[in-house]
Amino acid sequence: MAPIVSKLYCSPSQTVLGVRRRPHVVNGGGFVVTDCSTQKVVFKVHGCGIHGKKEELILRDRDEEPLLLMRRKGGMVEVLSISKKWRGYSVDYEGIQKQVFSLKEPGSSCLVKNKGIRISIEDGTVGNKGWDFEIRGYFPDKNCSIVDTRGNIVAQVGVNKEVEKLMESKDLYHVVVKPGMDQAFVIGVIATLDYIYGESTYC
SS3 of 7-39: HHHECCCCEEEEEEECCCCCCCCEEEEEECCCC
Inside any domain, residue 9: no
Closest CA relative to residue 33, chosen from 196, 200, 168? 200
Position 185 scores a pLDDT of: 97
Most confident segment among 31-35, 104-108, 194-198: 31-35
In a domain, 7, yes or no: no
The domain total for the chain is 1
Q: How confident is the model at residue 55 (pLDDT cuts 50, 70, 90)?
A: confident
pTM, two decimal places = 0.85
Bridge partners (DSSP) listed for residue 117: 135
Range of the domain at 156: 14-196
Q: What does the pLDDT read at residue 91?
A: 81
- Residue 76 falls within a domain, yes or no? yes
- The reply to whether 6 falls in a domain is no
Q: How far is CA 116 from CA 1, 22, 92, in A?
A: 22, 27, 31
Strand partners, 87: 71, 102
Q: Which of 146, 127, 138 is nearest to 187 (CA)?
A: 146
Which pLDDT band, with edges at 50, 70 and 90, does 198 fall under?
confident
pLDDT digit string (tens) for 168-182?
A: 555 789 999 999 999
In contact, 68 and 49? CB cutoff 8 Å: no
Question: Is 34 within the bounds of a domain?
Answer: yes
Q: Is 8 part of any domain?
A: no
The DSSP symbol for 71 reads E
CATH number of the domain bearing residue 62: 2.40.160.200
> Is the sign of the CA dihedral 94, 188, 9, 60 positive or negative?
positive
Strands (DSSP E) along the chain, which ranges? 15-21, 30-35, 40-47, 56-61, 66-72, 84-91, 97-105, 117-121, 133-138, 143-148, 153-158, 172-177
